[in-house]
Structure 1
Amino acid sequence: MQTDVLIIGSGIAGLAFAIKLATHKPEASITLVTKADQFESNTKYAQGGIAAVMDNVYSSFESHITDTLKAGKGFSNVQTVRMVVEKAPERLQELIAWGTPFDRTADGNWDFGLEGGHSVARILHHKDQTGLALEKALLQQLKRFDNIQFETEIFATELLMHNKRCHGARFLDKQDQAISIRATITYLATGGSGQVFSKTTNPLIATGDGLAMASRAGAKIEHMGFYQFHPTALLTENNPVFLITEALRGFGAHLINHKGARFVMKQHPKGELATRDVISEAIFKELEENAQENVWLDCRHLNKQKLQTHFPNIIAQCKNQGIDVFTEPIPVTPAAHYQCGGIKVNLEGKTSLEGLYANGECASTGLHGANRLASNSLLEAVVFAHEAALSVADELNQPNPFSVFAESKKDFHLNASTPLLKINHLKTSLRHLMYRFYLNKSLELPLVSIGAEIETLFAEIKKLSLYQRPSKPLFELQNMAETAKLIIHDTLYE
């Protein structure tokens, strides 16, 4: 199969790019593929919203820039931060025009939310399910374009490289049959890698696939040691765990320990409205000092009617777990939430490899630095989707660099398929070790012994990969291991 532009991933980064590019280049063939169904992505689970300065009076560009740089702890790219913040209003107006139903107050003004790290309320949202509302609006817009072909349940395994240029990717279909899609431009929007950890808010598909493929192909990767944990995930045995948006803390909820006392103020004067890294570390310290499994998020003092209006999904999810948020606190614990680093890209979304772009959580644009400011990720995706679409449209106007080359063939029929039970056991072991690794890192405890255990596990996974027939579960395991290596190496040696 051949196409002008191949998009891998169907979250906001992939969908917004497809819409923008199809608008600019209606004659271009665009193929969008995803490993699950159309709806399944990290975008779908985003609760809080999108940070944006919509009036530049109450909340100025400069204050949003300052808040972002503070959260990033000096590792953000100032030029990137300024571009994203200043281009946010125009991109948000497009999302509104595309049918995204952001909430308004009774008098018709935007119902801005407040989240940790923000100096003022500037979060546009749709109740506590903003990501789902965005996904629906974008998928509806996608139907307008005849030049976009959408393929589901196709799993990307490897980038097609020739003369240091990307020419598409290889995939496995539902029957684990290998297929190739060649493209002039390949655009990775494959999301994050939270499934590398035993506790994560990310869906099961978030196994670092695009990041791992790009790394194996030789793309520059950066800042993988900066993995953001969300401080308030509902304590359950589920994978993924259910995220309790920090908009609830912005609304006035308190974090309390086993004695019923607030404790975050000991770590930061902003208390529950400090940035996610500060609060996660405060919780980890509280759990370690008191040998507890979780802390609690207390909403009992909040207005019941307003709480029901703003957070209906959270209330319903807690009720399903037997928790009445109006009469008892919610048990919460930190969980892996957002990959701040990733495939290094420039201001147009270009990677270090010719013909390859990346956007969204798999990319490192320079916006987040060491710690993502709440509700900046959806904003980043839509701004960079626009910039990348302009750049790709220009590239497609140039002489076609597509070259004919022979793909290397691998004999996949000599070895038996790996038992799923074995793969799942290795995944579970990796997840638990990586969560311990991050916990020790947060508490400034020794990491060498855990690192050695993980290296032994890597060796076992590599051996398995060499002698077994490829399958989607096996490739996911390989990608998780590759991502874990990048996180450990960046943490210990960079």
Structure 2
Amino acid sequence: MNWEARADLIVAGTGVAGLTAALEARALGLRVLVITKAAASSGNTRWAQGGVAVVLPNEHDEGDTVSAHVQDTLVAGVGLCEQDAVEAILAGGAMAVTRLRKLGAVFDPGTDGKLARTREGGHSAFRVVHAGGDATGAEVERALLAATQDGRVPLLENHIAVDTIRTPAGAVVGLQVLDPNGVPGVVSAPAVLLATGGVGQLYQATSNPEVATADGLALALRAGAPAADVEFVQFHPTVLYTGPGARGRCPLVTEAVRGEGAVLVDATGCRVMQGVHPLEDLAPRDVVAAAIARRMAEQPGGVDDHVFLDATHLAADVFRRRFPTVFAACESVGVDPTTEPIPVAPAAHFACGGVVSTVDGRTGVPGLYAAGEVARTGLHGANRLASNSLLEGLVVGARAAQAVAADLAAGMLGDPRAGVRGILPSAPVADRDMLQRVMSRYAGIGRDAEGLALVGSVLDVSTVDTVLKTRERVEDAALTLVARALIAAAAARTESRGCHVRTDWPEVRTSWQRSLAVRLNPSGQPVLAADTLLRSAA
């Protein structure tokens, strides 16, 4: 290794969870170093349109409570949420939003002088606060980045983490890193927090940016940490349809548009969600995405790759003011959402599972912590409730920093000087285009045993062991590993639950009301860890 940097805590990722953790750790007196493989503003946080789901004191619907928010989350998670984790995270929401506002985040005001609130799918009340109409993530990111730019939170942009550095006892004490020129180096610390986001680039079309390549989850698996619920990838029901064969990040049409009364219709103008669920167009996302997929398959005239979101009931000035981001995206493809329905289709959106961690960010590996979308805290279960993700990042990011400070003070972490440093590792790498095509075709919304086996076979015969000496190779190795983990869990779960829809096992089965843990075997292959099945709250 050619260079080294040291800290008390290394944070990998500049999304809401990572930056919140870095700021809290700094406030606790820790030396913090933040690294990100691209620009600081390139993560997924900025694309979060809807808002933050939270019940604020004296600023909530009559009768709404944190307990009601908990119940909505449990229902959306279809039996796989861990109730203690749900309660702890949602109870911390009000304080987290207050802390964020003190950092300068500005949320939209309502006509009554309180914060404006909207309702999204699966919520029983108007409790989603938002900023810039539909630009909440961008405002959250702006406030957090501004708070780090006083010189006390060093940030290494365009540095990608390749692998963890561990002691002979297995504690994580740093990361192997490539700088912008591909020069290898080391960042050393007794604690590493993964806040690297999701896995959207496993699929051809996604709402995620190009950096969402499952890096953190792959790092954690290689370090010996278990993952869970990785088969549950939420497909957002309404991503702007930009034409046949859309690839990469596609513009999101926030669920809040449906919260303001928009409805889904097919090519003939018939309602998609009528009679499907009591909440109709505001049903949980897994229900809506699956219903759209079924309707697309049934549509006449060969129009089978999208449906429409009709928001023409909203006055033009109201739509432009409330949803400026959506309006601009529609305008860019020649659609006027105030006079014509918006073409939409489901696309990969959010990983409900990830590195098994507590609500304080601790994983099963000493020195390794996780927060945000990369983590599986037990909040989301089999399907994420809309706008719970920014909330989770704010709450768990702060709690993780506090856990690191406590573990350091208690002498529970490893000594970076004992870290075993080697050459850059090799890992199996599949062609990304091929991987995305087979994952989209056989491991998307509808799956069956034959298709999942085919994905596994294609990966087995097409991967090549490759030295991870470039960013592209690191990303493709991560996608390859996580794809294998996902299909292993998806093949084992012989039922349909939440985001996981098995066409050959269409019913929910009580025997599967548990979370599957995945680890790497000695040869580096992801396998189900039968001895560490995680029981969920009933």
* TM-score tier (shorter): over 0.9
**Do the aligned partners of residues 469 and 94 (structure 1) sit closer, same or farther apart at CA in structure 2, a change above 3 Å counting?**
closer
Deviation of 1:403 (Å): 4.8
**In the alignment, is the contact (CA less than 8 A) between 2:172 and 2:414 conserved in 1?**
no
- 2:77 alignment partner in structure 1: 72
**Where does residue 203 of structure 1 map in the other structure?**
209
Q: Secondary structure at the match of 2:320?
A: helix
The answer for unaligned runs of 5 or more in structure 2 is 494-538
Match 1:134 to one of 131, 140, 143 = 140
User: Does structure 1 conserve the Cα–Cα contact (< 8 Å) formed by 2:72 and 2:122?
Assistant: yes
Alignment check: 8 A CA contact 1:344 1:351 kept: yes
* One of 323, 335, 349 as aligned partner of 1:311: 323
Give the structure-2-normalised TM-score. Answer: 0.85
Match of 2:251 in 1: 242
From 151, 158, 169, give the equivalent of 2:156: 151
Q: Paired residue for 1:90, among 77, 95, 101?
A: 95
1:486 aligned residue: 485
Partner of 1:266: 275
State the match for 2:414 in structure 1.
401
C-alpha spacing 1:458/1:189, structure 2 compared with 1 (3 Å): farther
1:86, distance to aligned residue in structure 2 (A) = 1.3
Q: Does 1:100 align with 2:132?
A: no
Partner-residue secondary structure (3-state), 2:482: helix
Instruction: Please tell me whether the aligned partners of residues 430 and 454 of structure 1 are also in contact (alpha carbons under 8 angstroms).
Output: no
With 106-115 and 240-249 compared, the bigger mean Cα shift is at 106-115
State the 1:432 CA deviation. Answer: 1.4
Q: Counterparts of 1:275-424 in structure 2 under 5 Å?
A: 275-290=284-299, 291=302, 292-399=304-411, 401-405=414-418, 407-410=420-423
Task: Return the offset for 1:411.
Answer: 7.4
Among 218, 228, 236, which residue is 1:230 paired with?
236
Structure 1's 411 and 331: CA in aligned 2 closer, same or farther, altered over 3 A? closer
The aligned counterpart of 2:475 is 476
Q: Size of the alignment, in residue pairs?
A: 476
In structure 2, the partner of 1:3 is 7
**Structure 2 match to 1:432:** 437
Query: Once the 2 structures are TM-superposed, how far is the Cα of residue 458 of structure 1 from its aligned partner?
Result: 4.1
Note the C-alpha offset of 1:145.
5.5
Counterparts of 1:241 and 1:37 in 2: how far apart (Å)?
Answer: 20
Alpha-carbon contact 2:6-2:189 (below 8 Å) kept: yes
Displacement, 1:407?
A: 3.5
Structure having the larger proportion of residues in helix: 1
Partner residue in 1 for 2:525: none
Which whole-Å CA distance do the structure 2 matches of 1:62 and 1:411 have between them? 49
Distance 2:338 2:478 in 1: 42
Q: % of aligned pairs identical?
A: 34
Alpha-carbon RMSD:
1.9
Question: Gapped runs of 5+ residues in structure 1?
Answer: none
Aligned partner of residue 159 in structure 1, secondary structure: strand
Does 2:35 match 1:33? yes
Query: Residues 443 and 451 of structure 2 are in contact (CA less than 8 Å); yes or no, is this contact kept in structure 1?
Result: no
| Cα distance, 1:303 vs structure 2 | 2.3
SS for the counterpart of 1:266 is coil
Partner letter of residue 125 of structure 1? H
2:289 and 2:468 map into 1 onto residues whose CA distance is 40
Q: Displacement, 1:238?
A: 4.6
**Among 110, 114, 125, which residue is 2:115 paired with?**
110
The separation in 1 between residues aligned to 2:122 and 2:292, in whole angstroms, is 17
Give me the whole-angstrom Cα distance separating, in 2, the residues matched to 1:219 and 1:371: 22
When residues 252 and 469 of structure 1 are mapped into structure 2, their CA distance, relative to the original with a 3 A threshold, is: closer
Is residue 23 of structure 2 the alignment partner of residue 19 of structure 1?
yes
1:448 to 2:457 alignment: no
Whether the 8 Å CA contact 2:196–2:215 is kept in 1: the answer is yes
Counterpart code for 1:457: L
Tell me by how many angstroms 1:143 deviates. 2.3
Match for 1:13: what amino acid? Answer: A
| Matching residue's letter, 1:111 | A
Of stretches 193-202 and 386-395 in structure 1, the one that deviates more from structure 2 is: 386-395
